Amino acid sequence: MAPAAFALKLASIAQEQHNMFHMMDETEPPLCAQIKKYWQGIAPFVSCSTVPWSAVFVSFCVKKAGAAAAEFKFSAQHSVFVHQAIKNATNNTGVFRGVDITKDKPAVGDIIQNNRNGETFNFQFAKNNADYASHSAIVVETGVDSEGGFALTIGGNEGDSIRRKIVRLDAQGFIKQRTANPFISLIKNLKT
């Protein structure tokens, strides 16, 4: 099934941000100025380098693609919008729905959440908590290469810039769990 127009727009915005800034460090003036824009309307700006900005990057991209605050819980913390998305899935409401990575396959426009700093929070923890450190990135492409299936993501504050990463998929197209900073959830993007 082809991605919806909103999913394609979200992926395009993330790709555009990557194209413009991936060669820059967060402390360089052009990227720092853009990081300030990511914070606008989400939370008060503090710094380009001392406060994690990955969640405001995701929130900025989702907002710029056209999602409303009633649809996505824009936040400076990944766990906040993931927790709301899991509530949406539980209640069968909303257009952003958080699911366990074993329950659905990533597609363009979805958001993949993972642990950071060596934590090992799982989906059940994310379902019951909205305040913990994590990371997430936007799926901009899925496909198959010489190593098998993959989802290509773009995230902010990865290596102090905007970076692309490959998330490996199993033969059925589900996210392969990993040992270091394991994946927590998948936010399915149902907005058309």
* DSSP string across 121-177: --HHHHHH-S-S--EEEEEEEEEEETTEEEEEEEEEEETTEEEEEEEEB-TTSPBPP
Q: Mean pLDDT over residues 20-34, rounded? A: 98
Mean pLDDT to the nearest integer, 9-27: 98
Helix (H) or strand (E) holding 57: helix 54-65
- Number of helices and strands in the chain (H, E): 5, 6
Q: Is 187 helix (H, G, I), strand (E, B) or coil?
A: strand
Q: How far apart are CA 13 and CA 187, in angstroms?
A: 18
% of the chain at pLDDT higher than 70:
100
* pLDDT tens figures, 117-130: 999 999 999 999 99
Mean pLDDT for the stretch of residues 121-144: 98
187 with 108: CB under 8 angstroms?
no
Using only C-alpha atoms, the chain has a radius of gyration, in whole angstroms, of 15
pLDDT at 1: 81
Q: Count other C-beta atoms under 10 Å from residue 90's C-beta.
A: 12
Burial 137-154 (b: 16+ CB within 10 A, else e): bbbbebeeeeeebbbbbb
Lookup result for tokens 């058309």: 192
Q: What is the pLDDT of residues 57-86, one digit of tens each?
A: 999 999 999 999 999 999 999 999 999 999
Residue 59's SS3 state is: helix
Mean pLDDT of the chain: 98
